[in-house]
Amino acid sequence: MIGEKIRELREVNNVLLRQLAAQLDMDTALLSKMERGDRAFRKEDLLKIASIFKVSDRELLTLWLADRVIRTIEAESNQKEALELALRTIK
């Protein structure tokens, strides 16, 4: 989710992968892996990206957190029940 959103922001703003990587002070290959979902974004990187593209950091952080939750539970058979319990607990 978050990787797709970052790629979309880059493309809409005509920013090349290497240009964004330079602004984030990271290797182009690493950013590419992050966009594909092979590596996780750091919270700090998302705050910089939000500032660069002038978008809501809350939106990017929400997508990032959703990705983290999904990665954590994706291999479990009782995903839905665990999420429902978590939602009831945090309300």
Stretch (H or E) spanning 21: helix 17-23
The tens place of each residue's pLDDT in the chain, 91 residues long, gives 999 999 999 999 999 999 999 999 999 999 999 999 999 999 999 999 999 999 999 999 999 999 999 989 988 899 999 999 999 999 7
Position 74 scores a pLDDT of 87
The CATH number of residue 82's host domain is 1.10.260.40
Buried b (16+ CB within 10 A) or exposed e, 57-81: eeebbebbeebeeeeeeeeeeeeee
40 phi, psi to nearest 5 deg: -90, 145
Total domain count, the chain:
1
What is the structure's pLDDT at 10?
97
In this predicted structure, what is the pLDDT of residue 35?
Answer: 96
Cβ contacts of 37-42, under 8 Å, gap ≥ 24: 37/3, 37/67, 40/67, 40/68, 40/71, 41/2, 41/3, 41/6
In the prediction, which pLDDT does 32 show? 97
Q: Can you give the residue range of the structural domain that contains 83?
A: 2-90
